[in-house]
Structure 1
Amino acid sequence: MRSAARIEAFLEMMSAERGAAENTLSSYRRDLEDAAEQLGGRLAEADAGAIRAYLGDIASRGFAPTSQARKLSALRQFYKFLYAEGLRADDPTGTLDSPRKDRPLPKTMSVAETSRLLDRAALEAADDSPGHGSLLAARRMHALVEVLYATGLRVSELVGLPVNVALRDERYFIVRGKGNKERMVPLSAKARAAMRAWMEVRNATPALAESPYLFPASSESGHLPRQVFARELKALAARAGIAAAKISPHVIRHAFASHLLQNGADLRAVQQLLGHSDISTTQIYTHVLEERLVRLVNDHHPLADRSG
């Protein structure tokens, strides 16, 4: 019963002090009660060896690495609470490694594919012949893809950009991202030019001119819905001779990061540009760094075999 009382005290703290949501509390309760049951009701007193054995047991029961990591996270929080409250003299999870989670490599595009996509968007945006179709749509798409590839913005950040981003015509702007955090984002000359061309037709369209958004639309949000952009992006890719299934706004965001790293950018700098709060999120791109290091050694090490 001692462990049950400790679990209740922990959940009460998480609710009162951390403002944990009901789903979070329920998840902690399930994980901690499962651990307590497997440890014979002695969860509060368990040592590192007992917890390691428990983690081995749940792995043998077929739990996915993500579920194992979640259960270990719940245990870490629980023992950290006990230690902080003076209910334990140590934290038995301090020496335990998290289960390895296999993270799929992000889909991305080659530099050549990205260039084809941007070139096709630029070609369509420059064609104002009568039979061409909607110049408004073409210039909007050109501005969207140029800004997206130049900045690596999240699609929600991109479609919700305020119009003053284009009015200033500066080499960078401040974007408010996840968690209401602000970050500075650079703009390429091509992206600024595409925005200027878009603003010409945007401001000449009465239904759009007064909107506070760079990409206005008659939607509930007042700006272009992300789903509409994603659909139109796939259509542009098809016209550029690229498989539509390979393309999404998120893929272009990944291309932005991958191409920067391929060309020598620092992982920390890419983390800041993408707006990742934790470097571990950005580390999905370490395969790019590894490839670059191999190429660097092969190209420059005096004993490298360059016969191939």
Structure 2
Amino acid sequence: MSKRRDNRLNSREVDVALEPIEFNTLSFDEAFRSFIEDAERRGLREHTITYYQREIGLFGRWLFSEDKAELISRVVRADINSYVDYLKNERGLKNGTINTRLRAIRAFFGYLKDSKYIANNPMENYPLLKSRTGNIETFSIKQLRQLLNAPDRRTFTGLRDYTYMLLLLETGIRLSECTGILVEDVKLSEGVVFIRNTKNHFHRYVPIQSKMKEQLRRYLKVRGTCESDALFVTLDGEPMQRSSLQKIVGKYGSRAGIKGVRCSPHTLRHTFAKISVMNGAGVFELQKILGHSSMEMVRIYVNLFSSDVYKRHKEFSPLKNL
């Protein structure tokens, strides 16, 4: 007579019993679809969702080419290593670009693990590639004057574009953040602008000084009332789209004949950081205004642009008394 089974399962048997069926059946396409649907439910920015679709979609194509997309649960760490090797050796991508893809893939597998669609996360503690931070492009004061003198402020679009570029320079806000600003977010009496469309979903106020307040006051007076609540609008009164705002700095940079630097909203953000650091801004103030969730990028700005070290070098230079 066989021994009666113990009704209580051991730990290994419990794992088997409670393992979701999806562990063995979910394909890459199904997993990818679930991830994007979850991102939409959580209200992630359209720009972020597009980023995930692009980067994870490219990873999915590689999985299909390697016959590894049928079951997402069978993707292991060695496959991630192979994908990185492919990007480096066959595609010739730089480490920074590869890291952009790895961050998206990490979010993807993190979601699958948290949702219990996979038992093991191949991206768990996966290190990003070392990427040297090169010189961050910024505008010189001369280039800033050329850029800001380029719009024809006798036209509505010129006045609008000048105000937009001045606001980017004054506050260092991101393009996507500027796109989301409403008229009601401009608090002239308080000297702040409310930023609602943030990268990390933490709303914040950014300070503006007298020149910026006066320029916004002029623009708002000319803008008048229209159906859209957006701060920056077209001639038809429609809100300016991200793609249109993206092109403004480049258009006027080209018109002003600016060379040797990429004319973009992000370059104005870098320029804000540079001038702020050179004028004595601290890391905590800079982090709060720029809306960085960590100190990493702020420290890079300080290391690159702080003038203190150069001033102190005059005092301790080994050649001083030779």
Would the TM-score normalized by the shorter structure come out above 0.5? yes
Whether contact under 8 Å (1:163, 1:213) holds in the other structure is yes
Distance 2:250 2:81 in 1: 49
The residue that corresponds to 2:211 in the other structure is 190
Q: By how many angstroms is 1:257 displaced? A: 2.0
Residue matched to 1:256: 272
CA RMSD of aligned residues (A): 5.0
Q: Structure 1, residues 237-287: CA drift from partner, whole Å, max 9, x if none?
A: 62xx8559754443222211222233343445434433455666x36x71x
Aligned partners of 2:239 and 2:104: how far apart in 1? 40
Using the size of structure 1 for normalisation, the TM-score is 0.61
- Asked if the contact 2:139/2:261 (under 8 Å) is kept, the reply is no
Contact 1:230–1:249, Cα closer than 8 Å, also in 2: yes
2:110 maps to 1:98: no
Partner of residue 281, structure 2: 265
| One-letter amino acid of the structure 2 residue matched with residue 173 of structure 1 | V
Mapping 1:149-188, distance limit 5 Å: 149-155=169-175, 157-158=177-178, 161-165=181-185, 168-178=188-198, 182-188=203-209
- CA change 1:34–1:296 in 2 (3 A) is farther
Aligned counterparts of 1:54 and 1:72: Cα–Cα separation in 2: 16
Match for 2:235 among 209, 213, 218?
218
Cα deviation for residue 69 of structure 1 reads 6.8
Paired with 2:106 and 2:160, the residues of 1 have a C-alpha distance of: 50
TM-score of the aligned structures, taking structure 2 as reference length: 0.59
Q: Give the AA of the match of 2:225.
A: E
Return the match for 1:19 from 33, 37, 55: 37
Q: Which has the higher helix share?
A: 1
Given candidates 302, 305, 308, the residue that maps to 2:318 is 305
Count how many residue pairs are aligned between Structure 1 and Structure 2: 276
- The Cα shift of 1:62 comes to 5.2
Deviates more, 1:190-199 or 1:92-101: 92-101
Residues 230 and 248 in structure 1, CA contact (< 8 A), matched pair in contact too: yes
* Percentage of pairs with the same residue: 20
Superposed counterparts of 1:1-308, under 5 Å? 6=24, 8=26, 12=30, 15-16=33-34, 19=37, 23=53, 26-32=57-63, 44=74, 54=82, 58=86, 59-61=88-90, 64=93, 65=95, 66-67=97-98, 70=101, 74=105, 78=109, 94=124, 96-101=126-131, 105-114=135-144, 117=147, 120=149, 134=154, 139-155=159-175, 157-158=177-178, 161-165=181-185, 168-178=188-198, 182-200=203-221, 202=222, 208-211=223-226, 212-219=229-236, 221-223=238-240, 225-226=244-245, 229-230=248-249, 233-234=252-253, 238=256, 242-243=258-259, 247-267=263-283, 269-276=285-292, 282=297, 286=300, 288-292=301-305, 295-300=307-312, 303-305=316-318, 307=320
User: Matches of 2:209 and 2:185 in 1, distance apart?
Assistant: 13
What amino acid maps onto 2:195 in structure 1? V
Which blocks of at least 5 consecutive residues in structure 2 are unaligned?
1-21, 39-48
Closer/same/farther in 2, CA of residues 220 and 78 from structure 1, 3 Å limit? same
Residue identity opposite 1:145 in structure 2: M
- How far apart are 1:197 and its partner, in Å? 3.2
